[in-house]
Amino acid sequence: MRLAAIGFDADDTLWHNEPIFAMTEQQFEELLSAYCPVEEIRRRLFEIETRNLHHFGYGVKGFVLSMIETAIELTGGHITGAEIQHLIDWGRQMLESPIELLPHVETVLHSLAVHYPLLLITKGDLLDQESKIARSGLADLFTHIEIVVEKTPQVYARILARHHIPPEQFLMVGNSLRSDVLPVRTIGGLAVHIPYRITWPHEVVSAEGITYFTLDHIGELPAFVRRLERGEVEDL
């Protein structure tokens, strides 16, 4: 089998992202710890974030708005303007955080780009994702860059159809079972899961009954692709 294209997720697949959210959430918990237990802060923030995805989408801006809403609710409206300003400032710092590539990423992309069209498929806020992609220095390695609101089977199918890529010859690489593995397998594509050390609870799903490949880190990908095309990897 010859792959027609390889797709990559961005956040926590090519560069670190979730630790920035985790650090800010810890600051948020410390800010509100005088009002209620940390466990309740964490639980309520996640509930509000999940509910607000429909309105604000993924990314820092929606996260900041969800922190503000959570703070107003958990303090009974006693959160001060100065404290809300802290939340806004933390969001600005998150948006300006340096891009730190994961190990092996640059070498792997350069190696694979010689032989395959590479697609970057990421979800989130358009301005934020465009900024991160530009600052990563990786943009020129991708034949196509797609920034989407959500990663569903329908979204992947439209992307592949637009670029004339047969799903059965497409390999998606990412850290999220929900976003990078399950929807691609649903449309008949291949998927490689590379777990990241932190996973946002919203991305945690059961993959029971779904077959996919797993690698320890992205540095293993070129050798895996060669084995796959030679038929040395067990079929899914």
Residues with Cβ within 8 Å of residue 46, at least 6 apart in sequence = 201, 202
DSSP 102: P
CATH of 5-15+100-229, one of 3.30.420.40, 3.40.50.1000, 3.30.230.30, 3.40.50.720: 3.40.50.1000
The ranges assigned to domains in the chain are: 5-15+100-229, 18-95
- How many secondary structure helices (H) and strands (E) does the chain include? 9, 6
Give the predicted TM-score (pTM) of the model. 0.93
Residue type, 208: E
DSSP 16: -
pLDDT digits (tens, 9 = 90+) for 77-117: 999 999 999 999 999 999 999 999 999 999 999 999 999 99
Domain boundaries 18-95, corresponding CATH code: 1.10.150.240
Mean pLDDT of the chain: 95
pLDDT digits (tens, 9 = 90+) for 25-78: 999 999 999 999 999 999 999 999 999 999 999 999 999 999 999 999 999 999
Q: How much is the pLDDT for 142?
A: 98
Residue 203 pLDDT grade (very low, low, confident, very high; cuts 50, 70, 90): confident
